[in-house]
Amino acid sequence: MIREPGGRAQYVDSCKTKGKPVRILLIEDHARLAGFIRKGLKAAQFDVDLAAKGSDALEDFECVRYDVVILDLGLPDIDGLELLNQLRAKDKAIPVLILTSRVQLADKIGGLNAGADDYLTKPFAMEELIARLHALLRRPYATLGKTLRAGNIELDVVAREAHLEGCDRPLPFSRRELSVLEQLMRRGGKVAPKHLMEQSLYGAGEDLSSNSVEVLVHRVRKKLTDSGANATIHTVRGIGYLMTTDEE
Ligand code: CA
C-alpha cells in the first residue's frame, strides 16, 4: 500500500516479487519508530504496509489480505483496543501482536485478555519482534491465544501466572522469573540467546547486574524441578538457554 500525503491509498501487488512474502499491517503513529520497525521488518524479508491512524488501517484492511497485524495501542484517532475489536470483526483469525508501553499494558490488561495473540512492551529489540512474528505465523490459528505451553507447564502471558496442567495453584515464580520462563517457552525448543533475554529484562525497566539472567535461570530451573514440571532448561555455553520437554 502506498499512501500519498492527502491522497488515496494505492494497492501494490507484492506477489509480483518472488515467493510470497508475509504481509504485515503495521499500525503505529510514531513516525520515527514506525520507520525503524518497517526498515527492520523489510530487512527480514517481510512486506510491510504502514498505517499511522486507525482509519487508515481499517481502509488498508479492507483491500489487502494481511498475514499478521502489529498494533500500537496509543493512536491519534481511535483507541487501539477498539480498533482491535473492529479488525477482529472483519477477520477472526488474523494474528495480532500489540505494541504497548508498560503503563498502557497495566491499564489495558482486560482488553488484551480479550483479543490479542501476543504483545511486546516498548522499548523492544527488533530481533525479538521478528522472532515473535515468526512464532505467531508458525502457530496454527486454533491454538493462538494467551497461554503458552511446554510439556505440562502452562503460562498465561496476560494474567502473568504459570501452573502445571490440571493444577489451579500458580507456581511460585517472581515477576522476573516469569519473564525468563516466558522467553524460554516462546522459543519453542530453540535456544533463547542470553543477550536477548537481558535486553528484554532491561526493557522492563529493571536494573540488572551482569549475572542476573544466570541467577534467574538457576531459580526458574530449580522451581520447575521442585514442582514436578517435565521441562528442563539447558545452558548452551556462550549462547544462551534452551528449554526441552520430556516429550521431545
Ligand atoms: Ca502511539
Nearby residues of 13 by Cβ (< 8 Å), 6 or more positions away = none
CA 244 to ligand 1 centroid distance, Å:
37
CA 50 to ligand 1 centroid distance, Å:
13
Q: Where in the chain are the domains?
A: 2-142, 147-245
CA 29 to ligand 1 centroid distance, Å:
5
CA 74 to ligand 1 centroid distance, Å:
4
Question: Is a pLDDT exceeding 70 seen at residue 247?
Answer: no
Q: Which of 73-77, 87-91, 121-125, 209-213 has the highest mean pLDDT?
A: 73-77
Which residue is listed with cell 523492544? 124
Question: Is a pLDDT exceeding 80 seen at residue 112?
Answer: no
What's the confidence (pLDDT) of residue 107?
65
Residue-wise pLDDT for 12-36, tens only, equals: 333 223 356 889 999 999 999 999 9
Which residue is listed with cell 516479487? 17
pLDDT level of residue 205 (50, 70, 90 thresholds) = low
CA 28 to ligand 1 centroid distance, Å:
6
What's the confidence (pLDDT) of residue 183?
85
The verdict on whether omega for the bond into residue 95 sits within 30 degrees of 0, i.e. cis, is no
The domain at 147-245 falls in which architecture?
Orthogonal Bundle (1.10)
CA 73 to ligand 1 centroid distance, Å:
6
Q: Does this chain's domain 2-142 share its CATH topology with 147-245?
A: no
Q: What is the mean pLDDT of the chain?
A: 81
CATH class of the structural domain 2-142: alpha beta
Question: Is a pLDDT exceeding 50 seen at residue 225?
Answer: yes
Average pLDDT over residues 95-112: 74
Q: Is the pTM of this model over 0.75?
A: no
